Amino acid sequence: MKTTFPRLRGGLIPAIVVIVVLALFPVMGIPRQWLLYLFLFFIYLAMSNMWNLLAGYSGLISLCPAAFIGLAGYTMTVMTWLGLPYYTGILPGAIVAALFAVLISIPVFRLKGIYFAIGTLVVPEILRYVFLLWRPVGDVIYGRGAGYTVKGVSAVTQAQLYWFAFAIGIASVLLMRYILRSKLGTGLAAIRDNDVTAASSGINVFNLKLGSFVISAFVTGLAGTIFYIYQGYIEPASAFSIRWLITIMLATVIGGEGTEEGPIVGTIIVVFLYFTLARYAEISLIIQGVILVGIMLLAPRGIIGTLRKTRPYRSLLKLATRR
């Protein structure tokens, strides 16, 4: 009797192969420079996916990812100064970021549209000012603010850092796929289209927005702790910098806001720009801002959003997903 196996849909087997190959890169003799490129790619991918969850699917233009990154990074770093291994601070850092998201949701969720965006924009600036006033205790002060080295990370190998970033990057992709195919994703889509209609249909708008906000803060915080393990040092000016927001927005907008593939494509381009513009450090932020505005004007749907209108892309997608 001939046995037939069900056909796997959604390109599952190719995806598994790609994930396994990426996971084995550090033991395959890949050049160290390429591991650094991929490390940053996975870190930015996780953050971009979470910003896409808010702006692209929940209708929340949150401009405070730097607050979650900085708080998570500082939590992990301070724990190393208390004598704990760096890896024990990864999860607490993300939890602190999530709890802070709950705290600020009380005032900012009372705001709508552009007012919500402005309300969240000032949060990292307030935290940056607070941390600039904070002085390290029992250590030499260099300049303004509390700058700390992350203790116990000198022995961390590049392969370990890569696997940390790889795990959070892939997890963010899988999490997005799960959310968008769950009741939470359906509810968020209804809220994005019209929150008043969604509320009248029995959807708890506040709870769904809060849930997506907290999830985004948690995962963004996780990625932030991993980045500062790699950097080995944290200080307020960079931890709560608007550069984080520009990078994350750039990746999402270039790739295609409100699409699953968008942050992946956009993050590839952002990492390329990161290293290309390194020689123009003084004006790199301005250049990235100009690129962001240009993309929003010329291709508001991003690369993936624009390609989805073309027949070749639809045919390729149908072939890849067998639908």
Crossing angle between the packed helical segments 32-52 and 65-81, to the nearest 10 degrees: 130
Question: What DSSP designation does 6 have?
Answer: P
Tell me if 288 sits within 8 A of 247, measured CB to CB.
yes
pLDDT of residue 9 exceeding 80: no
Q: Give the whole-angstrom CA distance, residue 190 versus residue 181.
A: 13
Give the pLDDT confidence score for residue 12 in this predicted structure: 78
Question: What's the token pair of residue 145?
Answer: 């603010």
Tell me if 65 sits within 8 A of 98, measured CB to CB.
no
Strand-pair partners of 302: none
Give the pLDDT confidence score for residue 320 in this predicted structure: 53
pLDDT of residue 89 exceeding 70: yes
Give the pLDDT confidence score for residue 293 in this predicted structure: 83
Task: Look over the chain and give the mean of its residue pLDDT values, rounded to a whole number.
Answer: 86
Q: Is residue 317 very low, low, confident or very high in pLDDT (cuts 50, 70, 90)?
A: low
Question: What's the token pair of residue 104?
Answer: 């600020």
Give the pLDDT confidence score for residue 43 in this predicted structure: 98
Lowest model confidence (mean pLDDT) among 60-69, 104-113, 273-282, 307-316: 307-316
Give the pLDDT confidence score for residue 217 in this predicted structure: 98
Residue recorded with tokens 């520009």: 246
Give which of 297, 264, 302 is closest to 176, Cα–Cα.
264
What average pLDDT score do residues 204-218 get?
93
Q: Give the whole-angstrom CA distance, residue 44 versus residue 40.
A: 6
Measure CA 123 to chain center. 17
Give the pLDDT confidence score for residue 140 in this predicted structure: 53
Question: What's the token pair of residue 10?
Answer: 């959604």
Tell me if 43 sits within 8 A of 61, measured CB to CB.
no
Q: What pLDDT digit, counting tens, does each position of 45-58 carry? A: 999 999 999 999 98
Q: What pLDDT digit, counting tens, does each position of 146-180 carry? A: 688 899 999 899 999 999 999 999 999 999 999 99
> Phi-psi bin for 6: left (phi > 0), alpha (psi -120 to 50), beta?
beta
Please state the pTM of the whole predicted model. Answer: 0.89
Q: Provide the 3-class DSSP secondary structure of residue 148.
A: strand
Give the pLDDT confidence score for residue 280 in this predicted structure: 79
What average pLDDT score do residues 128-140 get?
71
Give which of 210, 212, 195, 208 is closest to 107, Cα–Cα.
210
What average pLDDT score do residues 247-265 get?
92
pLDDT of residue 2 exceeding 90: no
Give the pLDDT confidence score for residue 102 in this predicted structure: 96
What sections of the chain are H helices per DSSP? 12-24, 32-52, 65-81, 90-108, 113-133, 158-180, 183-193, 195-200, 205-231, 236-239, 242-255, 262-276, 284-298, 302-307, 311-321
pLDDT of residue 76 exceeding 80: yes
Tell me if 148 sits within 8 A of 134, measured CB to CB.
no
> Phi-psi bin for 139: left (phi > 0), alpha (psi -120 to 50), beta?
beta
pLDDT of residue 234 exceeding 90: yes
Q: Using the Cα atoms of residue 83, residue 87, residue 91 and residue 97 in order, give the sign of their dihedral.
A: positive
Crossing angle between the packed helical segments 262-276 and 32-52, to the nearest 10 degrees: 130
- DSSP E strands in the chain: the ranges are 148-149, 233-234
Q: Which of 91-100, 107-116, 140-149, 293-302 has the highest mean pLDDT?
A: 91-100
Per cent of the chain over pLDDT 70 is 89
Looking at residue 236, its amino acid is P
pLDDT of residue 92 exceeding 50: yes
Question: What's the token pair of residue 84?
Answer: 């704990």
Strand-pair partners of 149: 233
Q: Which of 21-30, 176-185, 210-219, 278-287 has the highest mean pLDDT?
A: 210-219
